[in-house]
Amino acid sequence: MNSADILWFKTQFAPAMRAAVAGTPLTADFLTAIACQETGSIWARLRRDGLAPALIASLCVGDTLDDDRGRKAFPRNYFLDREWATFEGSLRCCVDELRRALDRLGFATRVALTDLELAAVGIAYNTGGYNPAKGLKQGYFDGQRHCGEAVFDYLRAAHSAG
């Protein structure tokens, strides 16, 4: 993933992202960072192959394998109703989960967050919680870095991408 990929994502989806986070301390750059962390390895390649943004969004859906352990990452009929097949449906699901993470961290009433605080929200989104003593080294580990580190790095890249 490079800065051109990040700029493409922001250009395609910024209006919808800004509208979705209005009234929260979340930002379009933060949502871009989450998208880079979650599915960037997929959509960056697909956009370079020239696929339409709507098709790309429908191909970037993940799933959770821990539903049987109490985690409910997706609304009950999310897949049956094909909400995943649109950027707006996936965005709505993502922002709802991020709002719950804001609540858990006590950030819901804040007007703005620092990049480190946004990364903490990303960690809580990924794991369900955040331990300040561990800093950014929390969440899914891909063999090189943790989710928190990746979200922070992608957030900085999103700021620089324009």
3-class DSSP state for residue 51? coil
Tell me the pLDDT band of 65, cut-offs 50, 70 and 90. Answer: very low
Closest listed residue to residue 149, CA positions, set 36, 64, 66: 36
d(CA 46, CA 80): 25
User: If you ran DSSP here, which 8-state letter would residue 132 be given?
Assistant: G
Residue ranges making up the domain that contains 146 = 3-160
The phi and psi torsions of 125 (rounded to 5 degrees) equal -65, -40
Q: Is the pLDDT of residue 80 over 80?
A: no
Q: Where are the alpha helices (DSSP H) in 49-114?
A: 53-59, 87-105
Closest listed residue to residue 35, CA positions, set 13, 64, 19: 13
**pLDDT tens-digit map of 94-111:** 899 999 999 999 999 999
Residue 153: its pLDDT value, please?
98
Mean per-residue pLDDT, 88-98: 90
Q: Where are the alpha helices (DSSP H) in 22-146?
A: 28-48, 53-59, 87-105, 115-127
Confirm whether pTM is higher than 0.85. Answer: yes
Closest listed residue to residue 35, CA positions, set 71, 73, 70, 5: 5
Query: What sign does the dihedral 107-162-58-16 (CA atoms) show?
Result: positive
Closest listed residue to residue 98, CA positions, set 29, 2, 34, 3: 34
Q: Is the pLDDT of residue 66 over 50?
A: no
Mean per-residue pLDDT, 140-144: 92
Contacts of residue 39, Cβ cutoff 8 Å, sequence gap at least 6: 60, 62
In the chain, the number of structural domains is 1
Enter the tokens of residue 60: 């970037």
